[in-house]
Amino acid sequence: MSITPELYEFITKVVEDKVKEIRVTREDLDKLVSTVKELTQAQARSEERLTRLELAVEKLTQAQARSEERLTRLELAVEKLTQAQARTEEALANLVKSVAGLSETVGFGLEDLARSLLPTWLRLHEGIEVSELSRKFFKFDSREVEVNLYGEGRDKTGTAIIVLGEAKARFYSRDVEQFAAGVRELVEGPLKTVNTYSLVFGFWIHPLAENVCHAHDIRPIASYMLSRK
């Protein structure tokens, strides 16, 4: 069978069309391969980021666990400090009570010491003869003033005189001011017609308290002064 020019042209056109179809299919396949490759790379990057995120979350979890452990230790420490503070406050309260009781005991002991030694000291240093010193309460104008060293005697000229004293372990300015106010009330009230001699007696007298004594004509006498000539 001979091929006519028309048949040859037809066959050629059919083959060219098929070739074109095959070329288009390969281009699409190449595009698909490229797309798959890009998706694979993107997936790899996503998995890498996910792995880093998982590691970060794990580190945060571990850090949180350590923080909670430290917080627990801190809470325990605070609880111990709170308990220790409570014990300290209790001990301090007991100490305050003990010191208060001791102060009261020392105060009365100091008064006894003053009553025993001051009459001799007054005779030797001030020329005042007083037989004894005792605690006395004055009531006037609906008020009461206490003097824990009170004695009636005579001075070096033989004139009647009343000794007014305060015994306290430690004297500060405010203590002397308070005593001076009480003496002033007595001198201006029930004792205004007699001569008085005022003194404070203690184990220790602050220098500023001594200045206040001199300002109010009060003799400061510390226990260590009793041995002075």
Note the pLDDT tens digit of each residue in 34-83.
Answer: 776 777 787 778 778 878 888 888 888 888 888 888 888 888 887 887 78
pLDDT value, residue 99: 45
pTM of the model: 0.53
Query: How far is the CA of 6 from the CAs of 2, 18, 52, 216, in angstroms?
Result: 11, 19, 69, 151
- What distance in Å separates the CA atoms of residue 69 and residue 153, rounded to the nearest whole number? 79
pLDDT value, residue 98: 54
DSSP state of 203: S
Please report, as a single letter, which amino acid is at residue 80.
K
For the chain, residues with pLDDT lower than 50 are 92, 95-96, 99-100, 102-103, 229
Tokens of 225: 């002064």
pLDDT value, residue 158: 93
pLDDT value, residue 207: 94
pLDDT value, residue 20: 65
Q: How far is CA 35 from the centre of its chain?
A: 72
CATH class of 106-227: alpha beta
Tokens of 159: 């004139």
DSSP helix/strand/coil, 152: strand
Q: Where are the domains of the chain?
A: 106-227
What is the H or E stretch that residue 130 is in? strand 129-130
Strand 195-202 relative to strand 218-222: parallel, antiparallel, unpaired? parallel
Cα end-to-end span (Å), the chain: 168
